[in-house]
Amino acid sequence: MHWFSSSHLILHERLCRHRKLEEAVTSTEKEKSWSWLGQRKQRLLLFTLGALNPYEWRGAEGRSGS
């Protein structure tokens, strides 16, 4: 896919990572027994899923244009 620029990629990465990390931290608070590696795996999974979601991409692109 070549329709998004590197600036959109960086903007989306920051927005998505911030939102997903907040969610991961919230869930981690509920599950104190998780290992450090388990937390890293879930955060990476959440970020990857968000980055692959085309609706998320369109949303980030729209916010950057306003």
pTM across the whole model? 0.25
- SS3 for the chain, per residue? CCCCCHHHHHHHHHHHHHHHHHHHHHHHHHCCCCCHHHHHHHHHHHHHHHHHCHHHHHHHHHHHHC
Query: CA–CA separation, 14 vs 53, rounded Å?
Result: 15
Contact in structure between 47 and 17 (CB atoms under 8 Å): yes
Query: What is the residue-averaged pLDDT of the chain?
Result: 67
Q: Which range scores top for mean pLDDT: 3-7, 21-25, 58-62?
A: 21-25
Sequence ranges of the domains in the chain: 36-66
Model confidence pLDDT, tens digit, residues 16-48: 777 777 777 676 666 655 566 677 787 787 777
| pLDDT above 70 coverage of the chain, percent | 47
Residue 7 has a pLDDT of 76
